Amino acid sequence: MINDIVSFLGQNIEMIYILILSVFVGVEVIGKVPAVLHTPLMSGANAIHGVVIVGAIIVMLNTPVDNILALALGFVAVVLGTLNVIGGFAVTDRMLEMFKKK
């Protein structure tokens, strides 16, 4: 068990570097955000985690074409992921559009 985990970490060490550095980038990048931008920033970040759709597409590409259940689940996952991405970016844009007129 412990061996498995250590070798998993070792095999993924570059991903772990990216992970840790990204944590710091995420913290720094939004450093001093004014309170008026809290909601649009939240909405923009919401759209960005829609990148999970890439995983849903990968699942579908790796599923044998005769596995109907898996394809159906994958289809639902891709629809949900797209809603997250498109809805997220569109809502953010609408919020910021209004922001500009003020």
- Joined tokens for residue 34: 């004014």
> Residue count at the site for other proteins (CB under 8 A)?
84
Q: Would the CA dihedral through 51, 54, 88, 97 be positive or negative?
A: positive
**Least distance in angstroms from the C-beta of 50 to other proteins:** 5
- Joined tokens for residue 64: 């044998």
68 binds other proteins (CB under 8 A): no
Q: Which residues in 21-50 contact other proteins (CB under 8 A)?
A: 22-27, 29-50
Q: Which residues in 71-90 contact other proteins (CB under 8 A)?
A: 71, 73-90
CA-based R_g, the chain, Å: 19
**Least distance in angstroms from the C-beta of 55 to other proteins:** 4
